[in-house]
Amino acid sequence: MPLVSSRQLVSSQHARRRGAAGAAFLLMVLVAAQLVMPSLARSATTWSFVAKADTYVDAGRPGDNFGRAASLRTDQFPWAQRSYLRFDTPALRGQYFKRATLRLFSNQANPLGVAVYALSDNSWVETRLTWDGSPQPGAFVGHSPPTGVARWTEIDITAAVKRNAAMRASGHLSLVVRHSAFANRTVHPQAHEAETDFASRETGATAPQLLLTTEPAPTASTLPAPTTTVAPRPTTTVVTPPPPVPSGCVAVQGSVQSAVNANPAGTRFCLSGTISERITPKDGQGFVGPAVLDGRGSIDRAFGGGAANVTVENLEVRNYNPGRQNGAVEPAGDNWTLRNVNIHNNGWGGIYIGGNNVKIIGGKVNDHAGLGIGDSKVSGTLVDGTEIARNGFGESCGFEAGGVKFVAVHTTVRNTFTHDNFCKGLWWDINAANTLVEGNLVQDNWDEGIFYEISQDAVIRGNTVRRNGLHNYNASNRNGCSWLWGGGITIPSSFNVEIYGNTLDGNCNGITGTQQDRTDSTPPAHLLQNLSVHDNIVNGSGSTGVVEDNGADLTTRAITFVRNSFGGGHDFCGMAC
């Protein structure tokens, strides 16, 4: 059922001027204005650059350098490979970048394509770089189509250069090319399923290319006036404290798992350096950094197992390869605490919770193909002060992908910075209950910001929610949003939900509820009912209200909208959407 068109206010003025004197005066005013007003147009130019440095690294040969090879390689299994490229663009210092395209000449067909990541470190040297000394990829910036044999592959990497002040200042852009995250969809990957081979700069005519479209830096006269008021950033900022100095723990030399096996339950271990292991703790054991756990693309997880009361803190977890619906950290026992752990670039998932009363405090869970954080039917999960970003780029948004997806009960998610996920930001589904969502900054997620689906008993309060849903899963070509999907906060077929004290701005839709026949739900029947929306601020285009496509009379469902403020052209359609 399509969404009824929003009300539109059209204002027009028709001025008539009579007499030659009036017409002449108007012409003089227009000419004078043209002479003194600068043009808003800014000239765009496209530039082409060849890679200044490129190489690849191989986890199976961690000390070898391939800086003079004619190939740039990626792979996932049995050993991870990734390629590094640097482009020097000193002539473009001070320019603003509108679009960037990476061109790679492919020597090998692969239907999965490759993923490209930003890299802030420009100091690497192509003739010295090895796996053990290679800098870690940064944010995901683009994905290629399938590659072919003896043909160019073009990848839109505009995200790597937009708002890139460091590149404008230095004139350098480094990138990392890795295997596609789509290769992580199987629990048991096939050998070389994700292998690709591109021509390096040593080949000459088929060297990697960067196409940049630039425009001059804007001046005050060329900047358009803002059309909407953006809500201020919350007064509280999530700050991850520096790691404490470890004390009272066993310093591990050699294998961590061997140390775990040799020591009793309750032992605390100090970890340092780079570790490539799969660790299964005993009850009450703790693991404290600083240390980097690197799965080298071939180990399925860093921590897991059914032990209870485990603590993991001040560690970095990267390059593990969990299968679909799995995580690099899998607390299957009760009462785990993950404190200030940076979990990133681990194939399908970051954290997958199988135990009760798991606490995730501070830290980051970023850049995974499927989910940042997921769970099975558990109870008592707390996520507090965590950054959750850029997850979901290699999975269907209708299945299980994005920042967070929980089916648990008694869950609290507070004070997170949940942003730029390729599906939903914060998502609950399938009889989740007794949920508190408060104090989060949720922005720039492609689908809904907060999505509470076929569930019950939730309070959603005090969140700042902006610019979500603009590339909604249900919209044609992921452009905009259809029906009342794409809300900053959307409640599909859930009951006993209170939403208050939130500030929303610039989302595709505002606060929305939808009623459909949900044959995929389990008892009780999931009705959009007992929904209380009050004391919220909603700005920007789109609509706030509820809608159904099964003939249900929503006016009988105790749905109320009270003391909400709407601005910036927002349409409040309420019960009549």
The whole-angstrom separation of Cα 489 and Cα 491 is 7
Task: List Cα–Cα distances, 342 to 329, 523, 535, in angstroms.
Answer: 11, 38, 36
Starting at the edge strand found earlier in the chain, the sheet holding 571-574 runs 303-305, 329-331, 349-353, 371-375, 402-406, 424-428, 450-452, 487-492, 509-515, 543-548, 571-574
Please give the structure tokens belonging to residue 21: 């004197």
CB-based contacts of 315, cutoff 8 Å, min separation 6: 271, 287, 288, 289, 290, 291, 292, 293, 341, 342
Sorting pLDDT into bands at 50, 70 and 90, what band is 47? Answer: confident
Please give the structure tokens belonging to residue 132: 């053990």
Residue 16 has pLDDT above 80, yes or no: no
pLDDT over 90 percentage in the chain: 62
Tokens 């920007």 belong to residue: 540
Domains of the chain, by residue range, sit at 45-215, 423-577
Give which of 306, 384, 319, 307 is closest to 350, Cα–Cα: 319
Tokens 């003025």 belong to residue: 13
The whole-angstrom separation of Cα 552 and Cα 133 is 61
The whole-angstrom separation of Cα 187 and Cα 80 is 16
Are the beta carbons of 431 and 456 closer than 8 angstroms? yes
Buried b (16+ CB within 10 A) or exposed e, 426-443: bbbbbbbbbbebebbbbb
Please give the structure tokens belonging to residue 197: 């081979």
Residue 215 has pLDDT above 80, yes or no: no
Position 245 scores a pLDDT of 41
CB count, 10 Å around CB of 152?
A: 14
Task: Report pLDDT digits (tens) over 121-147.
Answer: 999 999 999 999 899 988 778 878 788
CA 371-377-379 angle, 5° bins: 105
The CATH code of domain 45-215 reads 2.60.120
Sorting pLDDT into bands at 50, 70 and 90, what band is 5? Answer: very low
Please give the structure tokens belonging to residue 148: 């072919």
Are the beta carbons of 544 and 511 closer than 8 angstroms? yes
Residue 244 has pLDDT above 60, yes or no: no
Position 434 scores a pLDDT of 95
Beta-strand pair 196-199/140-143: unpaired
The whole-angstrom separation of Cα 163 and Cα 140 is 15
Residue 186 has pLDDT above 90, yes or no: no
Sorting pLDDT into bands at 50, 70 and 90, what band is 93? Answer: low
Residue 19 has pLDDT above 80, yes or no: no
Please give the structure tokens belonging to residue 189: 């990957």
Sorting pLDDT into bands at 50, 70 and 90, what band is 187? Answer: very low
- Mean of pLDDT over the chain: 84
Position 138 scores a pLDDT of 84
Position 355 scores a pLDDT of 96
pLDDT over 70 percentage in the chain: 83
Sorting pLDDT into bands at 50, 70 and 90, what band is 182? Answer: low
Give which of 316, 349, 309, 362 is closest to 333, Cα–Cα: 309
Task: Report pLDDT digits (tens) over 308-325.
Answer: 999 999 999 999 999 889
Distance from the Cα of residue 336 to its chain's centroid: 25
Over residues 542-570, the mean pLDDT reads 95
Please give the structure tokens belonging to residue 560: 């109320």
3-class DSSP state of 28: helix
CA 384-466-231 angle, 5° bins: 100
Are the beta carbons of 314 and 339 closer than 8 angstroms? yes
Task: Report pLDDT digits (tens) over 438-472.
Answer: 999 999 999 999 999 999 999 999 999 999 999 88
3-class DSSP state of 198: strand
CB-based contacts of 64, cutoff 8 Å, min separation 6: 58, 130, 131
CB-based contacts of 558, cutoff 8 Å, min separation 6: 529, 530, 531
Are the beta carbons of 431 and 407 closer than 8 angstroms? yes
Beta-strand pair 114-119/140-143: antiparallel
- Look at 68-77, 91-100, 287-296, 504-513 and tell me which has the smallest mean pLDDT: 91-100
Q: Between 311 and 475, where is the model more confident? A: 311
Residue 397 has pLDDT above 80, yes or no: yes
- For the chain, state the CA radius of gyration: 26
Are the beta carbons of 18 and 26 closer than 8 angstroms? no
